[in-house]
Structure 1
Amino acid sequence: MRSIDYFDKRVQFHPDRPILISDEAHYSYGEMHRLTHRLAGAMLADGLRHQEPVAIMSPNHGAILTTLLGLWRAGAVWIPVNTRNALDANIAYLNYVRAGWLFYHSSLAAEARQVQAQVPSIRKLICLDTDDGEHPSLDAFMLPADAPDAPDLGDPVGNGEELTAIIATGGTTGPAKGVRIMNRSWGALMETIGNLMPAENPVCLATAPLTHAAGPVAMAAVAMGATISVLPGFDAEAVMRAIERDRVTHMFLPPTALYTMLSHPRVRDYDYSSLRYFLLAGSPVSPDKLRQAVEIFGECMCQSYGQTECHMIATWLPPHEVAAAARGEHPERLASCGKASYSVRIELMDDDGNILPTGEVGEIVARGGIVGGGYFEMPEATAEATAHGWHHTGDVGRRDADGYYYIVDRKKDMVVTGGFNVYSAEVEGAIMELEAVAEAAIIGLPHDHWGEQVHAVVVARAPVEEAAIIAHVKARLGSVKAPKTVAFVDEIPRTAAGKMDKKALRQPYWGDQARMVN
């Protein structure tokens, strides 16, 4: 089904239940229902085309929820804009998907005007929180409160092959690719999360960016009838305070945010007894930190593995199994990402397309309902990712005799830092723009807080400072993708095939660890 169908089911049975708690507004399901009709009606009256891409560029804000539900009711396709990216990269992505509308927060008004100037397909801009010159606020743009309902655009099978979103994921070469998120695969994700994480009177805390994994988690919580408590950004004590205040049952954070909470001096001062599911995803978790988290937050810690192309919950390690492992029952499972979830089959494959038996190491491949629809207008990349009749994750892992999966390396040339994917070729290309650089290789180094940090290995043809390289990449690609350290070498090791030997580059830092991800 469509996201709006899951929402409408909850409106029917719980119209008075709160759906949104934020600094900006508090709404019930019934009030939000009316707002989404007013927004959808206004968009359609303004010429919105069916399945037109609509971008949202904003820090966390309560109006994002209203806008998402409204655009989906109108039959549009969500384009999340990661505000942590460099603006040039976001402009390139919006041109690639040919976004027609942009909803933005006033704090990004200058960036919105640059988007307007450089993305010819953008024809309508709406400011989420206030009138901004010629661009109306969200409230001002909506139809009046007594306007008729927007038309019902659903079909008998839930519009399964239509798009919910086109979400950016970096490529190993070139700019970001857009993953086609289908109503059918998005619906499978909603139902998978609902089946795995049930709770009475759920309250979901959204503090990680709604443009990242927190967005799908929040919408799955709406499908369960949850109240969404939105924080403007991650602040460890604000999160701990909100858990106690709002009686939060569900929350998602990347491991780096968990580590910040664990090190906070007041982490033991708050009441976490309401928590049922504290989901960690985006990168592997330190087993020692996970054990400590169980001690502090209780039997609520859980993990999942997935990716944009294979939506988020491909594998699942539930709270009771994490807690048991923390007590010493199969402690090795603290390093596992769990078993295959309901909506997908997971296997390991060799380079020739052969499924491998238990115990052998191979690429993690997936098949099932939560696999999306390939890459937007990139048939060759889609064909490569779906070779041999399976979705290829690019991650390397093994499976034990009980069906638990363990990620040990990455086939794709990628660094995961703070839960964000940084693709090496993109950063290498930015460094190579500098005339003083002859060659560059990007690898991930183990880091206690970020999981991995971006590290550049550079062969220089002329004097160049580490700080200059870092500053150049930060300006081109944003701070997340910029290297944190640079090493200068006379030459970069190569494999027999003449390719950069990234394994050899990583080995001095990772040593003989069982997995070369963190």
Structure 2
Amino acid sequence: MSLAHLLVRQARHDPGRAAILHGDALHATYGQWAARSAGLALRLRQAGLAPGDRVILFMRNHPRYLELMWAAWWAGLVIVPVNAKLHPSEVEWIIGNAGARWAFVTADVAPAPLAGLAHQIDVDSPQASEWLAPHPRPFDVDVAERAPDDVAWLFYTSGTTGRPKGVMITQRNLMTMGMGYFVDVDAVAPGDAIAYAAPMSHGAGIYAIPHVMAGARHVVPASGGVDPAELFALGARVGPLSMFAAPTIVNRLVDHAENGGLAEADAARAFKTIVYGGAPMYVADMQRALRVMGPRFVQIYGQGETPMTGTVLPRQALSDTGHPRFLERLASVGRAQTPVWIRVGDEQGRELPAGEVGEVLVKGDSVMAGYWQNEAATAAAIRDGWLFTGDLGFLDEDGFLTLKDRSKDLIISGGSNIYPREVEEALLNAPGVAEVAVVGAPDPEWGEIVVAFVVPEPDHPARPEALDQHCLGCIARFKRPKRYVFVERLPKNNYGKVVKTTLRAQLDDSSAPA
């Protein structure tokens, strides 16, 4: 069984059903999609590629991304999805590490040849159209047989603390994620529409799998990215959209609705379900999102090592405002998804009681096979079948997981543990604060001190004295920041996560404003 069989199944059943849209224009029916993917799969085989070979996708979001993904799986190949914002030298390192000789690119992200490749094809070129020419009898092209534990998706981590690691995601991992989506995240009907606004090189791209399973439509915005006005208008035209979004994207959608005076009914016409995750979603932000756009949100927690599959906070929990622990649940990432076990453990992985903070461990058929050509890292990350995520959190008596921080972000000041997210939650409710990120800085007396990087509201600037008083009213004295650094913006990666390594580096610069 291969992921390619999902497309074959839908194309046999209803070849004329709309499948891929570019904006609101039809790009391919399911039959056309299968014919193009089968044609490319056959030509790649004829060019010498064999099952298990790696193919790079270094592209902006593009309707051909989906055709390339399923062509690679049809041929038994391994997809190496690459962040479109990486520097060419970073991409070339991935090419060499993965041993990839072929790449499909868009010219805006790869205007020059990348070293190490035998073939680099611009997906907007006439050459690409020849490679993707539809096969007249696509079902005569055999789908390469793949075992459940064969690698399908070689995903490279962000590499913020060194060279990225290649996460080996198998056919079984992705099938598990796809089927779990229907049970835990959202129901999908034939003809529903998923929009790819977040990068298709990450979680948004593999969410195509459950939507192919259901025979849904796949919508790539004409802009290829996140334009709130475009997404609201597109949803109103093609039907309410489902999509995956980092919290920063959710906030931009809410800003657009709120500042544009849009009602909840406008949000309902544009969006069916917005699945959010990938970075902290603060309670105040989700409360505003629910107030402005209504109950169309679902939170998931996972990692590249257990893609999109860890915990889920469903829309029912997000809407249950009468529950006595509603705010605590809103601050959580929900309960374990059906295909996995979640445990909070100590350094040896031994299970901790409810309420006690430890490392979050995940076990199940979604967990990666390991890191590509890195046995030491694999052995450190997976022990006795449990994935040690590096995230710190606790489970309550009902099994809801609340994350505190990454273990590397924990601040130990005067022997006491301080979780940056708790301080950030407090500061975000202070007048004059638009955004905030908290890190630890070395200190000879305390070991570390708490430093808050604050983006002030433009017309209501915050002052350190006022922020101090605010913190003293809602968190313990020892947790409050010892220093405030006011900045115009926070450094973020392509997925909306604040890059705290950059903030820590700024603290070494004596010219940083205080």
Name the TM-score class by shorter chain.
0.7 to 0.9
- TM-score (normalizing by structure 2): 0.77
In the alignment, does 2:340 pair up with 1:352? no
The equivalent residue for 1:59 is 60
- In structure 2, C-alpha distance between the alignment counterparts of 1:267 and 1:5, rounded to whole Å: 45
The equivalent residue for 1:198 is 187
The equivalent residue for 1:260 is 252
- In structure 1, C-alpha distance between the alignment counterparts of 2:288 and 2:204, rounded to whole Å: 23
The equivalent residue for 1:307 is 303
CA offset at residue 179 of structure 1?
A: 0.1
**Distance change (3 Å), C-alpha of 1:190 and 1:242:** same
The equivalent residue for 1:30 is 31
The equivalent residue for 2:220 is 230
* Equivalent residue letter for 2:359: E
CA offset at residue 154 of structure 1?
A: 4.7
Deviations 1:85-108 (A, max 9, x none): 222111111110111211011223
- In structure 2, C-alpha distance between the alignment counterparts of 1:97 and 1:183, rounded to whole Å: 18
CA contact (8 A) 2:18 2:26 kept: no
CA offset at residue 443 of structure 1?
A: 9.1
CA contact (8 A) 1:41 1:149 kept: no
- TM-score (normalizing by structure 1): 0.77
Deviations 1:466-518 (A, max 9, x none): x9xx99x99xxxx978836823478xxxxxxxxxxxxxxxxxx9xxxxxxxxx
CA offset at residue 248 of structure 1?
A: 2.6
CA contact (8 A) 1:172 1:413 kept: no
Give the secondary-structure state (helix, strand or coil) at the position aligned to 1:348. strand
CA contact (8 A) 2:34 2:138 kept: no
* Equivalent residue letter for 2:217: T
| Alignment partner of 2:166 out of 164, 170, 178 | 178
* Equivalent residue letter for 1:16: G
Say which structure, 1 or 2, has more relative contact order (CA 8 Å, 6+ apart): 1
The equivalent residue for 1:9 is 9
**Distance change (3 Å), C-alpha of 1:170 and 1:326:** farther
The equivalent residue for 1:130 is 125
- In structure 1, C-alpha distance between the alignment counterparts of 2:103 and 2:363, rounded to whole Å: 34
* Equivalent residue letter for 1:410: R
CA offset at residue 326 of structure 1?
A: 8.4
The equivalent residue for 2:286 is 290
Give the secondary-structure state (helix, strand or coil) at the position aligned to 1:311. strand
| Alignment partner of 1:189 out of 150, 173, 177 | 177
Deviations 1:328-368 (A, max 9, x none): 76222111100000110000110122111211111000110
Give the secondary-structure state (helix, strand or coil) at the position aligned to 1:273. helix
CA offset at residue 300 of structure 1?
A: 1.3
* Equivalent residue letter for 1:127: D
- In structure 2, C-alpha distance between the alignment counterparts of 1:162 and 1:299, rounded to whole Å: 39
CA contact (8 A) 1:326 1:334 kept: no
Give the secondary-structure state (helix, strand or coil) at the position aligned to 2:308. coil
CA offset at residue 79 of structure 1?
A: 0.6
1:1-150 alignment, distance < 5 Å = 1-23=1-23, 26-111=27-112, 113=113, 115=114, 118-119=115-116, 122-131=117-126, 136=127, 138-142=128-132, 145-146=135-136, 149=139
Give the secondary-structure state (helix, strand or coil) at the position aligned to 2:320. helix
* Equivalent residue letter for 2:142: D
- In structure 2, C-alpha distance between the alignment counterparts of 1:218 and 1:181, rounded to whole Å: 15
CA offset at residue 152 of structure 1?
A: 2.3
RMSD: 3.4
The equivalent residue for 1:338 is 334
**Distance change (3 Å), C-alpha of 1:444 and 1:31:** farther
For structure 1, list consecutive stretches of 5 or more residues without a partner in the other structure.
417-423, 425-440, 450-466, 491-508, 510-518
* Equivalent residue letter for 1:362: G
Identity, in percent, stands at: 26
CA offset at residue 170 of structure 1?
A: 3.5
